[in-house]
């Protein structure tokens, strides 16, 4: 636990990675790190390459240069399943739910790598405690849920395997402000429970308000980094994103 | 009445076997969106496996089913890992031509090894027996057993997919392959598994059919077409759909029997002169075109 360690070790480190998409560079020599127990956010406008970072970490879009280290071990040559098995869990922007299956079946598939039925049941209870609305709708097909509820299923499914780091991609996309607040409150709660979280958001104000540290991305490069408070108070961030 | 009841029961029984023929095609399509033109060739290999195993060992043809299943499972896995896996990286047209080529290779290998003469299975506990179902309707025991075993195989596969961990992973891969990978499911392994069970179910269907269907290495194409029709009618990727559509297609192949009944009822001389039985499978192909025009999604389809 963090309080026993004066200097928490970085759980995830990206060193100077470059990613191309269709021959075009999307990420140009980006470095970032996430320490154990931290809530880190990456903000930037549309097309700044935020989601690409997460896809590169997950091995869906391979970085052609640079290093990605998880607990000090390189993971950039592994395939997605192996990366998930190490405890890196990704909640994609597109949610990618198994739409005809019920809420509970979706959540149980999140625990696919766990074999202990008791632990799966505990995690299911934990997720239902976090999102009571999902418990009410546990037998309902995922496709029949509202956008906000589907996002809850996506996050809950990500939590089902006891991840070591949870990566959330555009949690707030397309949701009503009240739901965004609710989901971000849940993120903060998860952080307090000791979970390490990497959050990618275009909702800059809200993301910076809750994170420990943040990175500001522009055209595939980190242009600014610092604590959430520092960034929210910085002149350039206020000008570029907050319209102040 | 007996003619009608005979046609209905014949259509129902053969339809259940047809459903098993199509099951593997719909699973493979459901999991990885690839249409296997060599599907009927797998069935043909199942037929020869049953024939040759029973000839070589003196085993009853019925007992060769597990052998056919194992051969089909391995054949499916070899075809996937050695060939189809690479096709999936290419464009759609490569996949179509690729499995078409696989069909030609398997058929010609069969011609090389087994020759082109017509084969039938003459012996066995089921062969040349029939029992009375009801109202004087007699059905060959081979067909009755084939239908019953097909239904059992269908139920087992359904349970495998809906009640087991690996089945859920297969279903997840079919519904959203990328999403499944993010759950830590190896979709590559699931594709291989889908080809394995696809191959096993269709070779078992072949071994069942071999008891009452004479065959040559050319028999595959007919069953590929039948399977395509069933999968299109039932909905690509739908297992219950394949079952219902299999029975419907079974009835379609019995149209000549229904025609005979109508001829008998109406007493029209000209009706007896129409060579309906020559058009037995034309009805199946016609149904395929109609489905593609009217409802390409099929009856139970969730994919188009």
Each residue's pLDDT expressed in tens, for chain A with a length of 244 residues: 455 555 677 999 999 999 988 888 899 999 999 999 999 999 988 878 889 999 999 999 888 899 999 999 999 999 999 999 999 999 999 999 999 999 999 999 999 999 999 999 999 999 999 999 999 999 999 999 999 999 999 999 999 999 999 999 999 888 999 999 999 999 999 999 999 999 999 889 999 999 999 999 988 889 999 999 999 889 888 888 877 6
Lowest mean pLDDT among B193-197, B212-216, B290-294: B290-294
Superfamily of domain A1-86+210-244: P-loop containing nucleotide triphosphate hydrolases (3.40.50.300)
Q: What is the pLDDT of residue A1?
A: 47
Tell me, yes or no, whether B231 lies in a domain. Answer: yes
Identify which has the larger pLDDT, B265 or B100.
B100
* CA nearest to B189 within chain A: A81
Tens-digit pLDDT profile for residues B154-178: 999 999 999 999 999 999 999 999 9
* ipTM field: 0.93
The pLDDT > 90 percentage for chain B reads: 66
- Suggest the residue from B163, B167, B182 to mutate for an interface test with chain A (most A CBs closer than 10 A): B182
3-state secondary structure chain B: CHHHHHHHHHHHHHHHHHHHHHHHHHHHHHHHCCCCCCHHHHHHHHHHHHHHHHHHHCCCHHHHHHHHHHHHHHHHHHHHHHHHHHHCCCCHHHHHHHHHHHHHHHHHHHHHHHCCCCECCCCCCCCCCEEEEECCEEEEHHHHHHHHHHHHHHHHHHHHHHHCHHHHHHHHHHHCHHHHHHCCCCHHHHHHHHHHHHHHHHHHHHHHHCCCCCECCCCHHHHHHHHHHHHHHHCCCCHHHHHHHHHHHHHHHCHHHHHHHHHHHHCCHHHHHCCHHHHCCHHHHHHHHHHHHHCCCCCCCCCC
pTM: 0.90
Q: Across residues B131-159, what is the average pLDDT? A: 89
CATH of the domain at B14: 1.10.3470
Q: Which of residues 102-131 of A touch B (CB under 8 A)?
A: 105, 108-110, 112-113
Give contacts of B175 with chain A, Cβ < 8 Å: 98-101
The pLDDT > 70 percentage for chain B reads: 99
Give contacts of A112 with chain B, Cβ < 8 Å: 165, 168-169, 172, 183-185
Q: What is the pLDDT of residue B129?
A: 82
Structural domain boundaries enclosing B154: 2-294
- B190: closest CA of chain A, how far (Å): 12
* CA nearest to B172 within chain A: A98
Contact A60 B178 (CB under 8 A): yes
**Tally of structural domains, chain B:** 1
Q: For chain B, which residues lie within 8 Å of any Cβ of chain A, measuring from their own Cβ?
A: 165, 168-169, 171-172, 175-176, 178-187, 302
Q: What is the pLDDT of residue A153?
A: 97
Contact B179 A98 (CB under 8 A): yes
Contact A110 B183 (CB under 8 A): yes
Q: How many CB pairs under 8 A join A and B?
A: 60
Tell me, yes or no, whether B302 lies in a domain. Answer: no
């Amino acid at each position: 636990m963090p309080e026993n360690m004066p200097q928490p070790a970085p759980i995830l480190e990206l060193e100077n990675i470059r990613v191309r998409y269709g021959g075009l560079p999307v990420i140009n020599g980006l470095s970032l790190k996430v320490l154990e127990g931290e809530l880190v956010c990456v903000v930037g406008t549309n097309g700044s390459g935020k989601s690409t970072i997460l896809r590169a970490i997950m091995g869906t879009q391979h970085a052609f240069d640079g290093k990605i280290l998880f607990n000090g071990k390189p993971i950039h040559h592994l395939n997605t399943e192996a990366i998930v098995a190490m405890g890196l869990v990704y909640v994609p922007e597109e949610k990618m739910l198994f739409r005809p299956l019920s809420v509970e079946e979706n959540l149980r598939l999140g625990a696919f790598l766990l074999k202990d039925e008791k632990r799966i049941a505990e995690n299911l209870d934990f997720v239902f405690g976090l999102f009571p609305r999902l418990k009410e709708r546990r037998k309902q097909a995922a496709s029949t849920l509202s956008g906000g509820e589907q996002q809850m299923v996506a996050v809950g499914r990500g939590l089902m395997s006891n991840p070591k780091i949870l990566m959330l991609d555009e949690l707030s996309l397309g949701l009503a402000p009240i739901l965004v607040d609710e989901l971000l409150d849940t993120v903060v709660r998860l952080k307090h429970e000791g979970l390490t979280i990497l959050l990618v958001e275009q909702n800059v104000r809200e993301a910076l308000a809750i994170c420990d540290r943040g990175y500001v991305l522009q055209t595939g490069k980190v242009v600014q980094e610092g604590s959430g408070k520092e960034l929210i108070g910085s002149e350039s961030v206020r000008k570029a994103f907050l319209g102040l | 009445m007996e003619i009608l009841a005979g046609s209905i029961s014949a259509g129902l029984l053969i339809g259940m076997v047809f459903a098993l023929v199509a099951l593997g095609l719909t699973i493979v399509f459901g999991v990885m969106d690839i249409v296997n033109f060599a599907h009927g060739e797998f069935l043909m290999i199942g037929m020869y496996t049953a024939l040759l195993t029973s000839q070589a060992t003196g085993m009853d043809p019925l007992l060769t089913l597990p052998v056919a299943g194992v051969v089909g499972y391995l054949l499916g896995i070899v075809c996937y890992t050695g060939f189809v896996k690479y096709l999936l990286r290419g464009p759609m047209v490569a996949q179509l031509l690729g499995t078409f080529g696989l069909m030609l290779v398997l058929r010609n290998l069969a011609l090389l090894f087994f020759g082109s003469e017509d084969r039938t299975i003459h012996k066995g506990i089921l062969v040349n027996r029939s029992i009375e179902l009801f109202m004087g309707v007699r059905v060959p025991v081979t067909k009755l057993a084939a239908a019953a075993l097909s239904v059992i195989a269908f139920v087992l596969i359904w349970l495998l997919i809906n009640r087991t961990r690996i089945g859920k992973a297969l279903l997840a891969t079919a519904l959203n392959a990328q999403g499944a990978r993010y759950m830590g499911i190896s979709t590559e392994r699931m594709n291989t598994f889908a080809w394995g069970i696809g191959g096993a179910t269709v070779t078992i269907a072949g071994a069942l059919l071999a008891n009452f269907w004479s065959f040559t290495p050319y028999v595959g194409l007919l069953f590929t077409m039948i399977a395509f029709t069933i999968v299109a009618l039932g909905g690509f990727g739908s297992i219950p759909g394949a079952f219902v559509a299999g029975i419907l297609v079974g009835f379609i192949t019995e149209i000549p029997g229904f025609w005979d009944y109508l001829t008998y009822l109406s007493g029209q001389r000209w009706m007896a002169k129409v060579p309906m039985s020559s058009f037995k499978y034309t009805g199946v192909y016609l149904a395929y075109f109609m489905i593609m025009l009217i409802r390409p999604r099929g009856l139970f389809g969730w994919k188009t």
